[in-house]
Chains A and B, each alone.
Chain A
Amino acid sequence: MILEIDDVRLAFGGVHALDGATFSVGEGQIVGIIGPNGAGKTTLFDCISGFRRPDSGRIVFDERVDLVSRPAHDRVVLGIGRLFQQAKLWPSVSVRDIIRTAQHRSIRAGFFRSVLGFAEASERRASEQADEALELVGLSAHADKPAMELSTGMLRLCEIAAIVSVRPRLLLLDEPSSGIAQKETEALLPLLRRLRDTLDATVLVIEHDMPLVMGLADRIVAMAEGRVIADGTPAQVQVHPEVLQSYLGTRAASA
């Protein structure tokens, strides 16, 4: 098990965003997380990536690392990468520099060593990785543009390139299709598959686009009101009565 989520609870005031969420993810799986708005999907991602601290419960990475007690910035060193919902990056930073910045922790030199030029080798390696990753997603031509000049789709690609360059073992994708037109979503499916194959990573993906998530995931976890209500293959979850009731409704029949 690369990730175990055990009875995680988190309340904001009186609202229970996570109410005992429990499931685990095996190495190499692609797990889709679905659920209506307010089901606690993004809150769960925030707990895994360390931006929120659960009130109770355990999140264990790689069978030994207790993620709850670790700060957010440790995640990338452990091998956990995240794609944000709104393709959030650093708007005024150029595409190439974004990828170089993403490799912050791979340049193992302190302030003075790097400023005085004792870390030139790893700086150069970071630049090479950046060019390699940009090549991979086909953004080389836009390397000098700042992120804010990219369209949403390209921003996604840039983010994917950044994630590829840090080579995570567990990848959290928060709605990769959000903000992208339908046609492009279809093109996203082979890209995400290839991303998994390239990285050899385990993928956890939150997605509202049913054809995309059903086509991509080996396994689906359905959430509602902060709890896991169904867990199984896409085919099983699609016909699960509780899922139909809380989320898919009549759309399941047509999908």
Chain B
Amino acid sequence: MTEFLSTLPGGIVTGAVYALLAMGLVFTYKATRVPNFAYGALAALVAFFHYSIVTGRHVGFHINVLFVHLNVGWTLRLPFWGAVFVSLAFAAVAGLVIERFIMRPFARAPMVTHILVTLGLMLLVSALAQQWFGANDLIVPNNQAIFPRTSAFALGSVKVSWEQVGVIGLVLAFGAILYWFFRYTETGLAIRAAATDRDVASLQGVSVRQLSLISWVGGTMTAGLAGIMLASLVVSSNPGTLVLLSIKGFAAAIVGGMVSFPIAVVAGFAIGIVGEIVRHYSAHANSTIFVGADEIVTLGAVVVVLALRPRWIFKGIREDEDAGVLARSAGVDLAIGRWIDPVEAYRLWRASTGGLVSPAVWAWIKRVFPFVLGALALVFPFLPLPAFWTFPLNLSFIYLLVVLSYVVLVGWLGQISLALGAFLAVGGAGAAIGANTLHLPFPLPIVTGVLLSIPVSILVGLPALRLRGLHFAVVTLAFALVAERAIVPHFAGTANLLVKPSYLSSDRPLYYVFLALTVITFAFAARISRTKTGRAFRAVRDSETVASAYGIQPTRTKLTGFVVSGAIAALAGTMVAYELGSVQTGYASVLFSITWLAYAVVAGITSLAGPLIAAAIFGLLPALSQGEVHAAKISHWPEVTAAALLITIMAFNPQGLASMARFLRTRVSAHEEEPDEDLRAIEAAASVERPKVGAPA
């Protein structure tokens, strides 16, 4: 009993921080209807900013774009609470800038767009944080803790520290202020009104734009405060871990339907307390089997709650019917639209201007190009290239498949999953099981890796695909976190090196194995796209209702796409295992998934050329340009660039992915509706006599 009680203070205090994060998320969602996936990244950014001021650390700024290297730096030092003041001011400015310059164009965008944009923002903020504050862990020593870590009092043998008391007190105080704000201030009431009905609220004279500003500033400051506390509580952290921890805050908020403060707070505490108890007992069991058990239990519980679909959750969240495209209303007409999907853009440009070459020549180029590329790929390892090229080249096959996996799921099927990295982990784990545990000969571990992903896809996909949009994204996010914490530790590291035949120990044979696997997978994907499955994917993406009217089963179709995309990612995971020896945390992480989602959208998410462009620009080019020192200092500018591009692209296409092509087309053809065109067409169709179509089948 005492042992059980001893876990409580720790559980309550982490729960309090999750509750605080959840409150900030609900705050923003209520006023703006935006699920802020960048929340954890903002918390991490402010926390790092804060402790860098407290430490008086030299804040370095490295610009490392392709071939340009630049260093700027300064030193600043403040006492803890002074720094809190400055940090929260910094958070407020960050919130202001984000609302004003990033979020405003998306005020009435569909949910899918909001998810993509805030994911882009998350990537942008966390990449900037890592660029500014380095990849080193942030360690908060005792003299910099938010409150003294000395024992405040003891209940029996259970010791409670001042830090724990203080954090709980701060969160409670914050909750009280929030309660007062929503209950008694005019702005608070206005936000509640806007949460119920934006249009009615604005007719009543509520400025929705002003509310959006207030909520972003307030929400970012809450994130900052939570980040500062969280960093102190966990003692050692990096931007990645803070982002991951804040996913728990997101989980709590979504259990509260994104609008209920009380449920979100209770859920936050519950996640914290249950997680701490499970962690304590699984560590006590002193077995590595239980690594990550707390994540499985807490996030599993969230998924179960979501799958049960209690009314309170779905009452608050807007269900954008048919996820992707809804409005046929005119959008923004801007030249940047041409950059959305380069391949599509070229095709349309060619259609309108005749292009650079005649259609016959173009058809010939298209026929010959794959062979040229194939021949080049075959002889590539024998070309006189710098030796360090072989490694990035092999990695680029992995990136090709990663982006292909997104093309299938996001581009064709219209579902945003954040579990891509998790499937890489599953693939790597499957290969390790095949090679090390079952002692299978070489090509078979790849098969076991891919096969293992299928039951996992079904297990995750079945509950997740009953949900749409935001809920689907959050469930896949939960799974990604579970994979990162519970699967990867068992298979990563030098102790778990993949047993592989000696002829695969160098990069060149692996290059040919990867080339063959990639070509086969792309051919497979091209077949899917051209046959009934691919057509069903696009039908479900554009409208589930119409799809089911024509006999397509949306859930089954989505599950098929989820399994295919998971299998492609798992294949990439087995390749990671063969190239690097084991599943690497860097490839199995949530951040990796989001980064490559941004790259995929920027390079072209609907065509098979997208993966080629993404792997070349974001995989190969940075690695090659940084030369042999590439591993020494990781530059985050590719992420920053891609995230900024992603947000820009979405800004010009607020209606979502599926409408991208439309913007291009209207841009190119400037289609003017002729009033009589319809009439003539209908009359023609009605008057022409044609033989009867055969009898019903």
Give CA–CA (A81, B550) in the complex, Å: 8
Give CA–CA (A116, B531) in the complex, Å: 10
Cβ-defined partner of B678 (8 Å) among A116, A168, A180, A200: A180
Q: In the complex, which residue of chain A has the Cβ closest to the Cβ of B325?
A: A91
- Collect the chain A residues with CB atoms within 8 Å of residue B679's CB: 153, 181, 183-184, 187
Q: How large is the interface on A (under 10, 10 to 19, 20 to 34, 35 or more residues)?
A: 35 or more
Give CA–CA (A180, B687) in the complex, Å: 18
**Quick check: is A167 within 8 A (CB to CB) of the other chain?**
yes
Q: In the complex, which residue of chain B has the Cβ closest to the Cβ of A189?
A: B686
**Quick check: is B328 within 8 A (CB to CB) of the other chain?**
yes
State which residues 407-450 of B face A: CB under 8 Å.
none
B535-A97 in contact (CB<8A): yes
Give CA–CA (A224, B336) in the complex, Å: 51
**Quick check: is B167 within 8 A (CB to CB) of the other chain?**
no
Distance to closest chain A CB from B450 (angstroms): 14
Cβ-defined partner of B682 (8 Å) among A79, A89, A107, A153: A153
**Quick check: is A241 within 8 A (CB to CB) of the other chain?**
no
Distance to closest chain B CB from A100 (angstroms): 6
Give CA–CA (A72, B543) in the complex, Å: 14
Chain B residue total in the interface (Cβ 8 A): 53
**Quick check: is A244 within 8 A (CB to CB) of the other chain?**
no
Give CA–CA (A82, B528) in the complex, Å: 27
Distance to closest chain B CB from A39 (angstroms): 22
Give CA–CA (A149, B686) in the complex, Å: 22
Contact A152:B678 (CB < 8 A) given known A90-B542, A91-B328? yes
Contact A169:B682 (CB < 8 A) given known A49-B549, A75-B551? no
- Collect the chain B residues with CB atoms within 8 Å of residue A162's CB: 550
- Collect the chain B residues with CB atoms within 8 Å of residue A184's CB: 678-679, 682
State which residues 670-697 of B face A: CB under 8 Å.
671, 673, 675, 677-679, 681-688, 690, 692-697
Taking each of A71, A92, A168, which has the highest tally of chain B beta carbons within 10 Å of its own beta carbon?
Answer: A92
A199-B693 in contact (CB<8A): yes
Distance to closest chain B CB from A86 (angstroms): 8
A93-B538 in contact (CB<8A): yes
Cβ-defined partner of B532 (8 Å) among A77, A107, A148: A107
**Tally of A-B residue pairs with Cβ under 8 A?**
182
Interface string of B521-554 (1 = CB under 8 A from A): 0001001100111011011011101111111111
- Collect the chain B residues with CB atoms within 8 Å of residue A183's CB: 679
Give CA–CA (A49, B549) in the complex, Å: 7
Contact A104:B535 (CB < 8 A) given known A91-B659, A92-B661, A183-B679? yes
**Quick check: is A84 within 8 A (CB to CB) of the other chain?**
yes
Contact A92:B538 (CB < 8 A) given known A149-B669, A187-B686? yes
- Collect the chain B residues with CB atoms within 8 Å of residue A111's CB: 533, 560
- Collect the chain B residues with CB atoms within 8 Å of residue A194's CB: 686
- Collect the chain B residues with CB atoms within 8 Å of residue A115's CB: 524, 527-528, 531, 533
**Quick check: is B665 within 8 A (CB to CB) of the other chain?**
yes
Give CA–CA (A88, B544) in the complex, Å: 11
Cβ-defined partner of B685 (8 Å) among A82, A137, A181: A137
Taking each of A73, A126, A132, A160, which has the highest tally of chain B beta carbons within 10 Å of its own beta carbon?
Answer: A73
**Quick check: is B662 within 8 A (CB to CB) of the other chain?**
yes
- Collect the chain A residues with CB atoms within 8 Å of residue B560's CB: 111
Taking each of A123, A168, A197, which has the highest tally of chain B beta carbons within 10 Å of its own beta carbon?
Answer: A123
Distance to closest chain A CB from B367 (angstroms): 19
**Quick check: is B658 within 8 A (CB to CB) of the other chain?**
yes
A181-B524 in contact (CB<8A): no
A200-B696 in contact (CB<8A): yes
Give CA–CA (A198, B679) in the complex, Å: 21
Give CA–CA (A119, B532) in the complex, Å: 10
Could you pull out 5 A-B pairs where Cβ atoms are within 8 angstroms? A71-B548, A97-B535, A151-B678, A164-B693, A187-B686
Closest 5 CB pairs of A and B: A153-B678, A90-B542, A76-B551, A191-B686, A105-B551
**Interface on B for A, CB 8 Å cutoff?**
325, 328, 524, 527-528, 531-533, 535-536, 538-539, 541-543, 545-554, 560, 658-659, 661-662, 665, 669, 671, 673, 675, 677-679, 681-688, 690, 692-697
